[in-house]
Amino acid sequence: MTATQAWALAGVVVGVGLAALLGAAQTALSKTTLPRAQALAEQGQRGASALVALMRDPARTLNIVALLAVVVQVVVVVLLTVLALTVLAQPWAAVAAAAAASVVLFTGAEVAPRTLAVASTERVACALAPLVRRLAALAAPFAAVLVSVGRRLSPGRQASASPYVTEDELRAMIDAAESEDVIEPAEREMIHSIFELGDTVVREIMVPRPDMVTVGADATLDEVLEVIIRAGYSRLPVWSPERDRLVGVVYAKDVLMWLRDGHVAGEPWDDLLRAPYLVPELKRVDDLLRELQAEKVHLAIVVDEYGATVGIVTIEDILEEIVGEIVDEYDSEQPLVEQSDDEGLRVDARLPVDELAALLSCELPDDEWDTVGGLIVGLLGHVPTAGEHVDVDDVRLTAESVEGRRVAKVRVERVIPSEDGAGDDPDAAASAAEPAERPDRTGAAGPGVAGDGERPEVTDQPR
């Protein structure tokens, strides 16, 4: 063996070892967080200070480690190929060298070190952090240039975008943590709800106009106080009796202070009105939460694109999207879903369509309608009478009770599709296959809603 061949063989051995260290470092660093690195540094763990420095910019660190690993593996393949060609002097030597390099690098520089890094993440991360930090200082300029070029070549991705952890990956990590009993199922649900908050619009969580508790601007203060006591709400929208329009919001504490100061119930109380805080119905809920916090407002009036009032939303409604229903001593809790006697379900028409689909493990159209009641009305094309039903695939939705122009309760049951796929009621299936336009949300009237020029009356609403 010549000196050149000896140096090439030594280079292969050193390269495989360095590739193994880089593979272990890449796995350990990807599973380490900055708070954990800082905790290790506070405990006096050797190498933890270098680990903290690397974790302050994990994307940059992983880019550099990945670049170094690729370079080292390429060098190993080249050296092994040159060595094989000079020793064997055969045309097939290059193919044999490439195959041998693949086996050695895969087992010795990928599987073995990465398995060790997974088993002892913190020990490996602290042990290799000083080495990686020195190498990163040398390779950082080249890695930055190459990453910048790669991002510019990626279609539809800005140069500043970070492709390393996506929302789906975070959700998968949370699901894995629950399956390994690291977090409780309730904690998993709460974290998923936070993610979904950004995809939820105000219209999906608001108290719709038919369920709003309101008072008229011409009501006496005694009547206002009676509504506050009976409904148990601290803020009430106030309507003008002339043109059916919202004129403001009255606070219970303002009414109590007004009466405490010696004012009589028959006096005008226009000074107690506060300007309503208006938000569009398609506003994202997470943006609204930050807005309400910044403005120190607890109740907002929801309006549609024409400026008509379609509902109200409170901070409590938003929090319930994360933690579930919040019930206090004034709430009369009514379940949205009940088991009926005939092995079906009896649901409140206000139940969201996607929640019913999740309960039944089926697909229901929820692009045009938010609630089960709206789904029935939309598919039928008219306000149903009690007993009318519509079939969606193998699910039958029956309007069990109707209050005025609004569906109140819906019976849900499975049906066995017939051979022609239309279910056992062809007419209902046909109507389901041809959905009508969604009825105007602002035009529907019911308890507590102004219709045909009438001032809205007071009605109880769910919290």
Domain spans in the chain, listed from the N-terminal domain onward? 3-164, 202-323, 337-433
pLDDT tens sequence across 186-234? 888 888 888 888 888 999 899 988 889 999 988 988 899 999 988 888 9
State how far the Cα of 237 lies from the Cα of 292, in Å rounded to an integer: 17
**CA-to-CA dists, residue 392 to 58, 119, 183, 341, angstroms:** 49, 50, 37, 22
Calpha distance 362→394 (Å, rounded): 9
For the chain, the maximum distance between any two Cα atoms, rounded to a whole number of angstroms, is 111
pLDDT per residue over 159-174, tens digit each? 444 445 677 778 888 8
Q: Assign domain 202-323 to its CATH superfamily.
A: CBS-domain (3.10.580.10)
Instruction: Give the chain's mean pLDDT.
Output: 81
How far is residue 431 from each of residues 363, 369, 384, 427, measured CA to CA in Å?
17, 16, 12, 6
Length of the chain in terms of residues written: 463
Which percentage of the chain shows pLDDT scores above 70? Answer: 85
Residues 36-51: b if buried by 16+ CB within 10 A, e if exposed: bbbebbeeebebbbbb
| Residue 107 neighbours by CB distance under 10 Å | 13
Read off the pLDDT of residues 66-79 as tens digits, 9 standing for 90 and up: 888 888 888 888 88
Dihedral angle sign, alpha carbons of residues 46, 49, 52, 54: negative
The DSSP bridge pattern shows strands 245-251 and 235-240 to be antiparallel
DSSP state of 352: B
Three-state DSSP class for 6?
Answer: helix
Count of H-run helices and E-run strands, the chain: 17, 12
| The most confident of 170-174, 238-242, 293-297, 443-447, by mean pLDDT | 293-297
pLDDT tens readout for residues 119-173:
888 889 999 999 989 988 888 888 888 877 877 776 655 544 444 567 777 888 8
Please write the tens of the pLDDT for every residue from 91-113: 787 788 888 888 888 888 888 88
On the 0-12 / 13-18 / 19+ scale of CB atoms within 10 A, 327 is: exposed
> What three-state secondary structure class fits 170?
helix
Look at the pTM and tell me if it is higher than 0.75.
no
According to CATH, what is the number of the domain 337-433?
3.30.465.10
- Give the whole-number percent of the chain exceeding pLDDT 90: 16
Instruction: Give, in order, the Cα–Cα distances in Å from 278 to each of 162, 208, 228, 300, 414.
Output: 36, 14, 22, 6, 42
